[in-house]
């Protein structure tokens, strides 16, 4: 499907500089653009490519001032990056506009499905589920008994939703996710063995949540593990039982959250962050990659780094000395030896 510069500008409420009738049918990075593709320029580091790109249309910030002739048709918008993201979302909707229930899928008894639902080949949907309008369940996905998938949610191939999982509107669950598996609950016994504690709770995922590939979210021991509205989880994240993640919090890959930890809203965690169990993280906290958090952080908007995590300013000041620790240790040893010599001579 082709779109003209005028159609794109109308959709973005942008202004055109060039030919409004040129059309594109694909997207490309500005440095790799070719005829018929749409690109964007938001980062000044890539400005040089706008003079050489083969892209037919380029979205730019409203204040962009070219220093050389530009062959592409420009569409000026207040924020080129956000505008391009909107277009990519629209483009993806066209690509994934599948509907229908495959004859090779399985849908259990007492399960209801809304309009324009897609259930692909070899997908399994259990009994007594509620599948709302425009939900897409891709091939080989598993949706257990009693699950609820609200409007517009997408479950990609190979994702597994255990029984009772509740997912809100317009969520994206990527391939290989496991939602609702048992929490890590074992009671030590007198004979040094461990008795499994049944995990009888569920997982609740609110609206507009995106969960990356191969991320796992454990069901609660009692009650619910809760992922609040707008949360974005990267690939390969572990969320343990009874964790609660606040609205619009984002986490990068390989982060691990131990059981019963409560995380505030609008937090940002870098890759490989680790949190101990039964702690509380305030709203707006930012944790640098590989931070290890063993106790609650109660300061709103705190920025922490290191393991154990300390305030970013403290960490930076301490890091100046990290690479000199060996020299400092030798110096201290020399001073101790001198002190011992002086003491013996008295």
User: In the predicted model, what is the mean pLDDT of residues 233-241?
Assistant: 98
User: In the predicted model, what is the mean pLDDT of residues 312-324?
Assistant: 88
Residue 214, pLDDT above cutoff 70: yes
pLDDT in tens, 125-159: 999 999 999 999 999 999 999 999 999 999 999 99
The domain locations on the chain are: 3-95, 100-314, 315-345
**pLDDT for the residue numbered 341:** 83
pLDDT in tens, 49-61: 999 999 999 999 9
Distances (CA, A) of 222 to 201, 202, 260: 5, 8, 11
Distances (CA, A) of 260 to 183, 202, 218, 222, 252: 10, 14, 11, 11, 20
User: In the predicted model, what is the mean pLDDT of residues 258-278?
Assistant: 98
pLDDT in tens, 257-267: 999 999 999 99
User: In the predicted model, what is the mean pLDDT of residues 170-192?
Assistant: 96
As to burial, measured by CB atoms within 10 angstroms (0-12 exposed, 13-18 middle, 19+ buried), residue 186 is exposed
Residue 307, pLDDT above cutoff 80: yes
Comparison of pLDDT for 294 and 90, the residue scoring more: 294
Judge whether 168 and 186 are in contact, CB under 8 Å. no
First to last CA, the chain: 94
What average pLDDT does the structure give for the chain?
95
How far is the C-alpha of 288 from the C-alpha of 328, rounded, in Å? 27
Residue 93, pLDDT above cutoff 80: no
Tell me which of 2-16, 226-240, 291-305, 320-334 is least confident: 320-334
**pLDDT for the residue numbered 28:** 94
Percent of the chain at pLDDT > 70 equals: 99
User: In the predicted model, what is the mean pLDDT of residues 43-53?
Assistant: 96
Residue 328, pLDDT above cutoff 90: no
Topology (CATH level 3) of domain 100-314: UDP N-Acetylglucosamine Acyltransferase; domain 1 (2.160.10)
**pLDDT for the residue numbered 187:** 93
Please identify which of the residues 174, 241, 278, 321 carries the catalytic annotation: 241
Residue 241 appears among annotated catalytic residues = yes
**pLDDT for the residue numbered 10:** 96
**pLDDT for the residue numbered 279:** 98
Topology (CATH level 3) of domain 3-95: 3.40.1390
Identify the band that residue 346 occupies on the pLDDT scale cut at 50, 70 and 90. low
Residue 9, pLDDT above cutoff 80: yes
Provide the 8-state DSSP code for 15: E
User: In the predicted model, what is the mean pLDDT of residues 85-101?
Assistant: 83
Residue 207, pLDDT above cutoff 70: yes
Residue 55 CB neighbour total at 10 angstroms: 28
The pair of three-digit structure tokens given for residue 254, joined into one six-digit string:
């390989």
**pLDDT for the residue numbered 1:** 74
List of residues 6+ apart from 200 with CB closer than 8 A: 220, 221, 222
**pLDDT for the residue numbered 61:** 97
pLDDT in tens, 60-90: 999 999 999 999 999 999 999 999 999 888 8
């Amino acid at each position: 499907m082709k779109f003209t510069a005028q159609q794109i500008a109308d959709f973005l409420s942008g202004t055109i500089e060039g030919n409004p009738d040129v059309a594109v049918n694909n997207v490309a990075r500005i440095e790799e653009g070719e005829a018929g593709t749409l690109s964007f320029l938001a980062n000044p580091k890539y400005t040089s490519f706008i003079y050489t790109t083969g892209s037919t249309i380029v979205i730019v910030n409203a204040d962009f001032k070219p220093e050389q002739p530009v062959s592409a048709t420009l569409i000026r918008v207040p924020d080129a990056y956000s505008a391009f993201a909107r277009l990519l979302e629209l483009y993806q909707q066209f690509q994934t506009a599948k509907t229908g229930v495959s004859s090779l899928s399985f849908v259990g008894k007492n399960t209801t499905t809304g309009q324009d639902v897609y259930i692909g080949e070899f997908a399994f949907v259990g009994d007594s589920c509620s599948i709302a309008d425009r939900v897409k369940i891709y091939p080989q996905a598993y949706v257990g008994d009693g699950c609820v998938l609200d409007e517009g949610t997408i479950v990609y191939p190979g994702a597994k939703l255990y029984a009772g999982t509740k997912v809100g509107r317009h969520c994206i669950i990527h391939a290989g996710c496991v939602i609702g598996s048992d929490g890590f609950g074992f009671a030590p016994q007198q004979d040094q063995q461990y008795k499994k504690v049944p995990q009888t709770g569920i997982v609740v995922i609110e609206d507009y949540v995106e969960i990356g590939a191969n991320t796992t979210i454990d069901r609660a021991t009692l009650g619910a593990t809760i992922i609040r509205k707008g949360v974005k989880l990267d690939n390969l994240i572990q969320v343990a039982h009874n964790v609660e993640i606040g609205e619009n919090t984002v986490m990068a890959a390989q982060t691990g959250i131990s059981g019963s930890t409560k995380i505030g809203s609008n937090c940002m965690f870098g890759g490989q962050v680790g949190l101990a169990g039964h702690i509380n993280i305030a709203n707006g906290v930012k944790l640098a990659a590989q931070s290890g958090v063993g106790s609650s952080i109660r300061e709103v908007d705190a920025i922490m780094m290191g393991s154990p995590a300390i305030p970013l300013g403290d960490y930076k000041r301490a890091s100046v000395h990290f690479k000199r620790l060996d020299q400092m240790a030798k110096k201290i040893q020399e001073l101790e030896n001198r002190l011992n010599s002086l003491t013996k001579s008295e």
